Amino acid sequence: MRLEGWHLIIIIVLVLVLFAAPKLPGMARSLGQSMRIFKSEVREMRTDGPPVKDPAETGAVEGTTVTPPTSTGAEGRTGGGRGVPPPDRA
């Protein structure tokens, strides 16, 4: 005999009714309260609106990107004697 999904659901419901009957109203009440809190938090997040993008309020700083000068010769190679380790060779 193979137990299918609906067999297991019936067994679980029977076990809950037989052994947890006195606690079911409290569990349902706490589940309902949790759902209410979750819904109110989601509703509050939707009404908050988009985040503020004013640079004065966010502390953003304007600037330009600086590119390092290119060099030629031995210094242009990886490592170049500037404290950078050479790449690993296999």
Find all residues with CB under 8 Å of 55, minimum gap 6, and list them.
61, 62
Kindly state whether residue 59 falls inside one of the protein's structural domains.
no
Mean pLDDT split into 10-residue runs, the chain, 90 residues = 85 89 89 96 84 61 79 55 66
Residue 37: its pLDDT value, please? 96
Q: Based on the structure, what is the number of domains in the chain?
A: 1
Kindly state whether residue 38 falls inside one of the protein's structural domains.
yes
Q: How far apart are CA 32 and CA 25, in angstroms?
A: 10
Q: How far apart are CA 60 and CA 53, in angstroms?
A: 9
Kindly state whether residue 45 falls inside one of the protein's structural domains.
yes
Kindly state whether residue 13 falls inside one of the protein's structural domains.
no
Kindly state whether residue 30 falls inside one of the protein's structural domains.
yes
Kindly state whether residue 17 falls inside one of the protein's structural domains.
no
Domain enclosing residue 35, as ranges: 22-50
Kindly state whether residue 81 falls inside one of the protein's structural domains.
no
Q: ∠ CA 70-76-77 to the nearest 5 degrees?
A: 145
Can you give the pTM of this predicted structure? 0.38
Kindly state whether residue 58 falls inside one of the protein's structural domains.
no
Q: ∠ CA 51-37-52 to the nearest 5 degrees?
A: 5
Do 80 and 74 meet the contact criterion of CB atoms below 8 Å apart? yes
Taking alpha carbons only, the member of 16, 40, 12 closest to residue 27 is 16
Do 24 and 16 meet the contact criterion of CB atoms below 8 Å apart? yes
